[in-house]
Structure 1
């Protein structure tokens, strides 16, 4: 019968509309009689179909009872005239269906079943004269309802697409892993139905430490209470109940684990009561894997809807998220690997926001004059109890883009104020401040420099901005424009950590730096391969000088390193062998009492003599095409000869190797005897340096 109805018909006149309303009012008593039996029959039929049963079986008895009550109210609302409120409710129901994992095609199928069953229930309960008008209205109303629900369903799909687009953009643009993860979690937080999320790693004991999170109630009721009697922690070990949930299984199995419904999953028993307080009804645990398939981190997402993460499209979303986060972690593989719990991260950010920044100052010594030429401002955070300072190794990795901007802005202002006070006391030295790579893609940095140079009058050339090393090399027009603005301010630009990565060499070629700082990490191999470390300093110094940049060697922690940097012709040096970082108030007195004695021709340390020998070898290479001048080269090896005499090493293996080298030189540098003597000399110098370092 209903197949022949004109379901597109609307009341043609006020009289017809009035008649329809009267008919709808008249069937209300009949409606009350069939609602319960109809809803029972509807769900009985749905449960016979596996895909619908999968979703419905995620509900507890109480949740299923509430669903039936909602359906009864919804059925009654269908027998009310169409209005905008009904459309809003239907779109909301469509979103809910999407959130619990029902696919759009299932909505169409369930509406077909709904229509057939309702017509069967009503067919014998109304007069024949009313049946056609009533059923025509009802089918039209259901058609509207289905369209509105599909619109709501599609809205959730658009939210997921938007989140993925934002995440993919963050992967490409974020300068730090911490900033990237904040962007990712921020994108996920905007998805309806996702109420909380965490990113964490297990500590040495296997206890999961959450390093990033969203969801205000989740943070308050869970993260802030971890470790108390009120909240169970989570472990990745399988030997306790706290490790049997999805998080522990995901870490151990290296596979995504789904908690489709907290109401029916026994593995979440340790957290079930808390999940109820938080309104959490489903979750997914996503292990972030490295290239070899080993877990590096774990993302947990929580929803207020059962089955949220288990539909086919949601699983594709989760798998994409897992892949891009794995790539992101690989891209930022140089980031510190220590686990920093969420509470400690927030502690550092709060310290920065509440005036806890204190700059210390480490001198940079001119290796030509032996006098300090500038002080580098180094950020520290003051502990609230006044018990010492927090190292940047602890807090820098947790700072995001906004935090880094605040750190730079406040640190620069402190440094300019300190320089002004020193100059007023007769100590007129330059100052340098570290600047993150984001400064070349964020105009706020150069604007802040311009502002502070106006408000703290100083010659811009007395300020150096040190661009920190980054894995990213921004070659965009925006970078060029901002770099030009920095240049226009008149400040000096320095590249920090030259030699710490391939990108730093690329930047040296493409950026007009006034100064480069050779990474102190290059000196870490002195004990194992002294010549290799000194060769790096020598060649990087020559490279920078050829490009017109001054050279500062960092990490000069001993007199030998200082002497080597002087002999290898670096322009300046910095490190504990010269001075440790100090408060601003200590700078003036220290400058007045400091003197560095420099004697390039007569090294007194093993590292100094090795550096002098490398310099001699380089000069020897220039002379080799002219054999007649090689005797001059032999006489030029006086630094090593004087060192042997001064240290009383006559007759030692070092002295004998030196004599063999000089004798072999007379025969020519291209002869095997000289090559062998040169290798022997290098071995003896290696041993000398290792003994000094020991």
Structure 2
């Protein structure tokens, strides 16, 4: 039997070179880094637009002229049907042998061989059957152009998803043609085989269209992720949008992103759909939760390895990869056949989270363009998480199921308001109350520190409105009982760029007839609010409706001074972390409180110290000029009814009545030292102080005496005001001498000062 080659008659209308120019555009994205920006062209990086190798003509030179005239026959329709009917029986007998030969030769190509090597025996059999059926379809005399195109696009999508690159697809088509030519005696069927060859060429072009469609979707995803990396306001918003964007890609069956908990177990915090959620639930039930530890059985999979290596790790086939045996059955049930685990990290840093993408086909995310896409995702998301970490801190891991439950509870009666009094230190009266949200998850009471990190922008708005309405409603209840209290509530930073907050605030104040100056909105100092005229104007809108503004947690961040100067705050709240240090070493924290108080007062603001747990601090804070205080030393946050009972039971005796203790003595010493600094730095005061240093003054300043002499006498410890009397005049004299001789920042003065403060306690 004589074998001849298949003619390759290329119709210019069929060639993939005529693909639209829109597939060749490139999109430039600048990734912001700590160093100089690096220009990355998505077109250059992702667009594998190299033309696949053409299907070489397999016919001998003497047939070229004949083939040229035959090539003008349309590959579909009555003429093509007649030609293919003539060879139909021959092809049906030859196709199985040609498919065997095709796969034997395909194994000579490295990438196809690797892909085929990941398949199980059943998967190999299924693939061969699918290839045979497709070849029979292409050679079907009754095939229409529309049906062929639909089939080719579907198969091209599969080839693109399994990671078969364009050039290997084109080369494999040449191998298929060669296999057919070696298995069929085609001397009498030149025209028939010309039709089949042209159909195969069109099949390749249409398959490449599917590649282009997937590539364009990846490019759009990169653009969306880039915009999100700059605009996301929180970790929760970022991961929710990431799984939405990536989960919409045709090649991504499901995806999830999460972080390890304190046991090293990866907890997915956002998932793309219910399939992914069921997959996670199945892992929980089978005790196959993913670990990041190398010594754990479930730490050997792609996610655990990726966390340790910092590089994307792939599973090309769950059914044959021994590293994922623990998840094989769970993945099969979920319909996952391949995956990639992407550690999200900034260059040179440890991972912050893991993004896992799953495919319904083997070989997913392993092709060249897919690898480039994965690398771009890792870079962009690494930047985004690093940026958000500087704003929010590391936070704690909350699994997706728990997140969903808390968000649901947020819109139910499980959300309750607790109230903590703010006491005026001069009068001892409760004039304000801070509203604090509490979320009850069964018997567990969650504070904002527990659940705020899981909230989206919409959840934040829902929480703000519910808290505001309940607080103003409760205020009217207390008002009827004779207690006119100011209400203080937190304002999220996104409120400045979301007009709904202003509208909701104005409506609530009108509904509950809250007068001007009785609602205080607190903005955390640690929250990033752009220092711009636009932000100042937005604050001004709240001020215009009668709201007071407070800078919360003053001293806990890096932008306090600029914000205090830039924005129209009415009061500031000194961060509890500063006050909390007082019990360990009271001198420096009290000095810090004093300076922050002076700063606030100099800007016309009231000052509140929060987090006060020791009642002995209250009189000291009053001496230092602090206007009000809140904390467990006064009362812990209470439900509305309990707070009302506490409020009515107060005797009216100031909680901060003056009494002597180590905090009071330290406060008095700080004020004395402040006076010393003023005198030392004033030439006339310094001269009088030198003259008086050796004098044995034992009298109070004469009534009406003022100026340097009175100040000098006060510094020498003969104050008439009992609240400013210091402990040992000799110690004072030593400090004065060291200040005059060496300066107040000298080692000598600091040593004496440390000794003096240690004697106080």
Q: TM-score higher than 0.5 here?
A: yes
Query: Which sits farther off after the overlay, 419-428 or 298-307?
Result: 298-307
Question: Quick check: 1:177 aligned with 2:235?
Answer: yes
* Matches of 2:76 and 2:238, distance apart in 1: 61
- Structural mapping, 1:107-126, within 5 Å: 107-118=169-180, 121=183, 124=186, 126=188
Secondary structure (helix, strand or coil) at the match of 1:44 reads: helix
* Matches of 1:156 and 1:279, distance apart in 2: 21
Does structure 1 retain, via aligned residues, the 8 Å contact 2:11–2:72? Answer: no
* Matches of 1:26 and 1:307, distance apart in 2: 39
Query: Which sits farther off after the overlay, 113-122 or 160-169?
Result: 113-122
Does structure 2 retain, via aligned residues, the 8 Å contact 1:206–1:237? Answer: yes
Distance 1:322-1:265 versus aligned 2 partners, 3 A rule: same
- Aligned to 1:98, which of 143, 148, 160? 160
The structural deviation recorded for 1:673 is 9.0
- Structural mapping, 1:537-548, within 5 Å: 537-548=593-604
Distance 1:617-1:105 versus aligned 2 partners, 3 A rule: same
The structural deviation recorded for 1:87 is 2.3
The structural deviation recorded for 1:472 is 2.9
Partner residue of 1:164? Answer: 222
Distance 1:307-1:271 versus aligned 2 partners, 3 A rule: same
Query: Which sits farther off after the overlay, 169-178 or 421-430?
Result: 169-178
Partner residue of 1:519? Answer: 575
Q: What CA deviation, in whole Å up to 9, does each residue of 1:469-504 have, x standing for no partner?
A: 445342467645543433333212222111111134
Query: Which sits farther off after the overlay, 71-80 or 282-291?
Result: 282-291
Distance 1:318-1:672 versus aligned 2 partners, 3 A rule: same
Question: Quick check: 1:447 aligned with 2:503?
Answer: yes
Question: Quick check: 1:604 aligned with 2:683?
Answer: no
* Matches of 1:268 and 1:464, distance apart in 2: 55
How many residues are paired up? 671
Partner residue of 1:18? Answer: 78
Taking structure 2 as the reference length, what is the TM-score of the superposition? 0.80
* Matches of 1:6 and 1:170, distance apart in 2: 45
Distance 1:87-1:508 versus aligned 2 partners, 3 A rule: farther
Partner residue of 1:223? Answer: 280
Does structure 1 retain, via aligned residues, the 8 Å contact 2:221–2:246? Answer: yes
The structural deviation recorded for 1:378 is 0.2
Give the root-mean-square deviation of aligned CA atoms. Answer: 3.3
* Matches of 1:676 and 1:58, distance apart in 2: 73
- Aligned to 1:552, which of 608, 612, 633? 608
Partner residue of 1:88? Answer: 150
Structure with bigger helix share is 1
* Matches of 2:526 and 2:714, distance apart in 1: 46
Q: What CA deviation, in whole Å up to 9, does each residue of 1:135-188 have, x standing for no partner?
A: 443343333322221121122222222223222322222222233222223322
Does structure 2 retain, via aligned residues, the 8 Å contact 1:559–1:605? Answer: no
Does structure 1 retain, via aligned residues, the 8 Å contact 2:160–2:211? Answer: yes
The structural deviation recorded for 1:404 is 1.8
The structural deviation recorded for 1:40 is 1.9
- Structural mapping, 1:388-407, within 5 Å: 389-407=445-463
The structural deviation recorded for 1:639 is 7.7
Question: Quick check: 1:40 aligned with 2:100?
Answer: yes
Partner residue of 2:711? Answer: 632
Partner residue of 1:461? Answer: 517
Partner residue of 1:302? Answer: 358
The structural deviation recorded for 1:685 is 5.2
Distance 1:161-1:685 versus aligned 2 partners, 3 A rule: farther
Does structure 1 retain, via aligned residues, the 8 Å contact 2:341–2:357? Answer: yes
Question: Quick check: 1:30 aligned with 2:90?
Answer: yes
The structural deviation recorded for 1:466 is 1.0
Secondary structure (helix, strand or coil) at the match of 1:559 reads: coil
Does structure 2 retain, via aligned residues, the 8 Å contact 1:443–1:482? Answer: no
Secondary structure (helix, strand or coil) at the match of 1:670 reads: helix
Distance 1:102-1:390 versus aligned 2 partners, 3 A rule: same
* Matches of 1:6 and 1:249, distance apart in 2: 48
* Matches of 2:471 and 2:738, distance apart in 1: 56
Does structure 2 retain, via aligned residues, the 8 Å contact 1:251–1:298? Answer: yes
Q: What CA deviation, in whole Å up to 9, does each residue of 1:339-387 have, x standing for no partner?
A: 4333333332232133311010111222233212211110101233xx3
* Matches of 2:753 and 2:80, distance apart in 1: 104
- Structural mapping, 1:668-679, within 5 Å: 669-672=739-742, 679=750
Does structure 2 retain, via aligned residues, the 8 Å contact 1:100–1:305? Answer: yes
Partner residue of 2:437? Answer: 379
Partner residue of 1:509? Answer: 565
Taking structure 1 as the reference length, what is the TM-score of the superposition? 0.87
Does structure 2 retain, via aligned residues, the 8 Å contact 1:247–1:298? Answer: yes
- Aligned to 1:198, which of 232, 243, 256? 256
The structural deviation recorded for 1:210 is 3.4
Does structure 2 retain, via aligned residues, the 8 Å contact 1:603–1:639? Answer: no
The structural deviation recorded for 1:68 is 1.8
* Matches of 1:640 and 1:118, distance apart in 2: 113
* Matches of 2:639 and 2:346, distance apart in 1: 42
Does structure 1 retain, via aligned residues, the 8 Å contact 2:315–2:321? Answer: yes
Question: Quick check: 1:687 aligned with 2:758?
Answer: yes
Does structure 2 retain, via aligned residues, the 8 Å contact 1:567–1:608? Answer: yes
Partner residue of 2:41? Answer: none
* Matches of 2:440 and 2:413, distance apart in 1: 9
The structural deviation recorded for 1:248 is 2.9
Secondary structure (helix, strand or coil) at the match of 1:194 reads: coil
- Structural mapping, 1:451-600, within 5 Å: 451-470=507-526, 472-475=528-531, 479=535, 482-594=538-650, 595=652, 597=654
Partner residue of 1:649? Answer: none
Does structure 1 retain, via aligned residues, the 8 Å contact 2:570–2:606? Answer: yes
Secondary structure (helix, strand or coil) at the match of 2:438 reads: strand
Q: What CA deviation, in whole Å up to 9, does each residue of 1:594-645 have, x standing for no partner?
A: 3353779x65232222122222322333333122315534326568995899
Partner residue of 2:464? Answer: 408
The structural deviation recorded for 1:562 is 2.0
The structural deviation recorded for 1:272 is 0.8
* Matches of 1:28 and 1:548, distance apart in 2: 95
- Aligned to 1:619, which of 672, 675, 678? 675
The structural deviation recorded for 1:415 is 1.0
* Matches of 1:125 and 1:251, distance apart in 2: 61
Does structure 2 retain, via aligned residues, the 8 Å contact 1:644–1:655? Answer: no
* Matches of 2:166 and 2:502, distance apart in 1: 51
Does structure 2 retain, via aligned residues, the 8 Å contact 1:518–1:551? Answer: yes
Query: Which sits farther off after the overlay, 312-321 or 476-485?
Result: 476-485
Partner residue of 2:271? Answer: 213
Structure 1 gap segments, 5+ residues each: 646-653
Partner residue of 1:358? Answer: 416
Does structure 2 retain, via aligned residues, the 8 Å contact 1:606–1:685? Answer: no
The structural deviation recorded for 1:547 is 2.8
* Matches of 1:231 and 1:155, distance apart in 2: 39
